[in-house]
């Protein structure tokens, strides 16, 4: 953030009171360039931000961020239509954690070799420690934070703050159970009736609740690639949990070693790789051009990047990771 940009958080009750009592005075006191944090606590500011934008016509003067998705995004879309650029920030990517340049993923050999030479090599245990820990910034910023306590607090906050007021969710604990079932289906095609049956809800409710998880960036859906030539393609979206640490917490995996040796080891690895590719595009402000392929004969391609009329297939397998790891050991 540039040195002359002011920072103000609406977590401060005095500042929040000012926004509600006299939003015009707030805008005078905190003149742009300014970053306003936790905007969901005072959406009354949005019309005044709109007036400032229309008057000053300076792009990027006002940054607003928030830790909730549903109500603020609805209000921002309605109040600042045509005047706002929206950037979705997910958990930390490997490039942020290990401090190397983040660029949208492509399978070009030159780019892959450049990345191979720039990054540190990680063994199997290192990779699953990363998968188990997840992508929450605070867990990587502070070593003393207890992993289980952090994710328990995160889930409690998500259910009580983001979910409680939604009309589509009548029972928070039933929604928590649904989240756990979804985590167990990471990297699999969606079967709404199967999810509904396991959660004890109806198929339409499962669709609504899944859309909530998508909107709050807990999961991402990958659409199947198909064209007029491909007649036997399965047209069901694929589902990936975006934070592997959260999925591990929900499914009660106790440590990285148990996760690596467990039945869901491959599924977690696939979702982790997907999330890294997915975030590489979002962090560059681009829409991820990502699909997958599966036909009725069970032939599949884990990921497809479709750009400029060209298909780039990507196969993700934990066994390949083991093969590469063992090959490196043999060369030492």
Tell me: the pLDDT tens digits for 265-292?
999 999 999 999 999 999 988 899 999 9
CB-based burial, 42-66: b 16+ in 10 Å, e otherwise: bbebbebbbebbeeeeeeeebbbeb
Of 162, 182, 128, 155, the closest CA to residue 246 belongs to 155
Evaluate the CA torsion angle 147, 148, 152, 155 in order and state its sign.
positive
Q: What is the pLDDT at residue 170?
A: 77
- Rounded-to-integer distance, Cα 225 and Cα 305, Å: 10
**25-84 pLDDT tens trace:** 999 999 889 999 888 888 888 888 888 888 888 888 888 887 666 555 555 555 555 566
129-145 average pLDDT score = 93
What's the pLDDT at 218? 94
Q: Is the pLDDT of residue 209 over 50?
A: yes
Predicted pLDDT of residue 320: 58
Q: CA geometry: angle at 301 spanning 300 and 307, to 5°?
A: 140
Of 84-88, 107-111, 306-310, which range is least confident? 84-88
Of 116 and 264, the structure prediction assigns the larger pLDDT to 264
Per-residue pLDDT, averaged over 183-197, amounts to: 95
The pLDDT of residue 330: 38
Structure tokens at 321: 């990771």
Q: Is the pLDDT of residue 109 over 80?
A: yes
Cβ(195)–Cβ(181) below 8 Å? yes
Cα 222 from Cα 293, distance rounded (Å): 10
pLDDT, the chain, mean: 85
Q: Are 225 and 293 in contact (CB under 8 A)?
A: yes
- Cα separation, 35 vs 60, whole angstroms: 10
Report CA Rg, the chain.
22
Please check the confidence at residue 323 and state whether its pLDDT lies above 80: no
Share of the chain above pLDDT 90, in %: 48
Annotated domain spans of the chain: 6-79, 94-331
- Mean pLDDT confidence for 315-321: 75
The reported pLDDT for the residue numbered 126 is 93
17-21, 49-53, 131-135: range with lowest mean pLDDT: 49-53
pLDDT in tens, 213-258: 998 899 999 998 876 555 656 778 999 999 999 999 999 999 999 9
CA 89 from chain centre, in angstroms, equals: 7
Asked if residue 296 has pLDDT above 90, the reply is no
Identify the weakest region by mean pLDDT among 59-63, 164-168, 177-181, 190-194.
164-168
- Separation of first and last alpha carbons in the chain: 44
> CA-to-CA distance for 58 and 256, rounded, in angstroms?
48
Return the pLDDT at 324. 43
The CA distance from 252 to 93, in Å, is 23
What's the CA angle centered on 43, arms 37 and 1, to 5 degrees?
A: 25
pLDDT at 195 over 50: yes
Helix (H, G, I), strand (E, B) or coil at 279: helix
């Amino acid at each position: 953030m540039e040195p002359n940009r002011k920072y103000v958080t609406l977590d401060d009750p005095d500042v929040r009171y000012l926004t509600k009592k006299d939003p015009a005075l707030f805008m005078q006191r905190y003149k742009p360039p300014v970053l306003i944090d936790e905007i969901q606590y005072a959406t009354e500011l949005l019309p005044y931000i709109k007036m400032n934008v229309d008057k000053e016509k300076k792009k990027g003067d006002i940054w607003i961020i928030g830790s909730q998705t549903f109500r603020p995004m609805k209000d921002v879309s309605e109040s600042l239509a045509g005047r706002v650029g929206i950037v979705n920030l997910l958990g930390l990517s490997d490039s942020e954690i290990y401090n190397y340049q983040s660029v949208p993923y492509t399978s070009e050999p030159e780019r892959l070799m450049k990345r191979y030479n720039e990054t540190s090599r990680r063994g199997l245990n290192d990779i699953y420690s990363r998968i188990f820990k997840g992508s929450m910034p605070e867990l990587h910023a502070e070593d003393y934070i207890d992993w289980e306590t952090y994710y328990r607090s995160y889930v409690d906050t998500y259910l009580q703050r983001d979910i409680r007021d939604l009309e589509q969710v009548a029972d928070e604990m039933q929604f928590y159970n649904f989240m756990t079932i979804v985590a167990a289906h990471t990297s699999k095609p969606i079967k709404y009736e199967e999810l509904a049956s396991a959660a004890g809800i109806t198929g339409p409710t499962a669709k609504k609740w899944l859309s909530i998880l998508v909107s709050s960036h807990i999961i991402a859906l990958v659409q199947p690639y198909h064209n007029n030539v491909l007649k036997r393609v399965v047209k069901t979206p694929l589902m990936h949990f975006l934070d592997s640490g959260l999925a591990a917490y929900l499914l009660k995996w106790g440590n990285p070693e148990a996760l690596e040796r467990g039945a869901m080891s491959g599924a977690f690895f696939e979702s982790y790789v997907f999330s890294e590719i997915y975030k590489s595009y979002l962090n560059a402000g681009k829409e991820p051009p990502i699909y997958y392929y599966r036909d009725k004969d069970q032939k599949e391609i884990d990921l497809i990047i479709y750009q400029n009329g060209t298909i780039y297939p990507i196969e993700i397998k934990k066994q390949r990771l083991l093969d590469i790891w063992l090959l490196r050991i043999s060369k030492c």
